[in-house]
Structure 1
């Protein structure tokens, strides 16, 4: 684990809130020069603490009005089955996240669709035909009050 000081933590929090901030702006905010701030950010990236920057899009404004969380239990367990399932489900564009979980289901998927009938099409034609797919439980997202933020 990398040792982080208070400035590193402040930089991470600021970047988690708005990753478009420049090293110069962050440096002025935290009393550092632009090169010193850039070196800190680069070190955080090189150490794998900052693993990327992400663009958040408003799915509803882009025509995707339904988000469904699916619990998927595999019909056949085994290493080949897990790998085949993960590879196949990751290729479906409507599947936004694939999480291998412990519990009643083997996977938790976040699926976006234009509407319920579009979701049904994705479920029947793409997800239920995946290698190893067994029982499925769907939970429709009604609202999202808090988005993931800094740790």
Structure 2
């Protein structure tokens, strides 16, 4: 793990809010030259602190307005089931996140779909690929906060 100093934090904070900033503008914002910024960004990329740069898309404008959280109880707790579940969920583009959880449920899935019919297709595909103990879903009615930015204090 590289040592992250105040300049690195400023660079990371700026880039996670606006990844397409030019080096001149970034340097002005953080108080470094463009070359110093480039070297630090390269070091952060080499250390995998910066894993990639992406464009954030508007789900509503792309007809993916329904955000759903799917709670899963596993049908089995063995390596074979986990491998089958992992492969199935990784291969489904609508699924944006899969998390193994503590508590009453085993896994939480975050997915984006167009509507209830699209969710039903996702559900049918998932249960056809992997035997499930129990599946329930909660649908987002209002997105109050949704960010990819990490808190860099």
TM above 0.5: yes
Q: Which residue of 1 aligns with 2:139?
A: 140
Q: Which residue of 2 aligns with 1:45?
A: 45
**Contact 1:96–1:111 (CA under 8 A) maintained in structure 2:** yes
**Contact 1:73–1:135 (CA under 8 A) maintained in structure 2:** yes
Aligned residue pairs, count: 150
- Counterparts of residues 41-120 of structure 1 (less than 5 Å): 41-120=41-120
**Contact 1:99–1:109 (CA under 8 A) maintained in structure 2:** yes
- The offset of 1:87, in angstroms, is 0.4
CA distance in 2, matches of 1:52, 1:103: 32
Structure 1 ranges of 4+ moved more than 4 A: none
For the aligned residues, what is the CA RMSD? 1.4
CA distance in 2, matches of 1:107, 1:54: 26
Please list every run of 5 or more consecutive structure 1 residues that lacks an aligned counterpart in the other structure: none
Residue 131, structure 1, aligned to residue 130, structure 2 = yes
- The offset of 1:75, in angstroms, is 0.5
SS at match of 2:35: helix
Please list every run of 5 or more consecutive structure 2 residues that lacks an aligned counterpart in the other structure: none
TM-score calculated relative to the size of structure 1: 0.91
CA distance in 2, matches of 1:21, 1:39: 15
TM-score calculated relative to the size of structure 2: 0.90
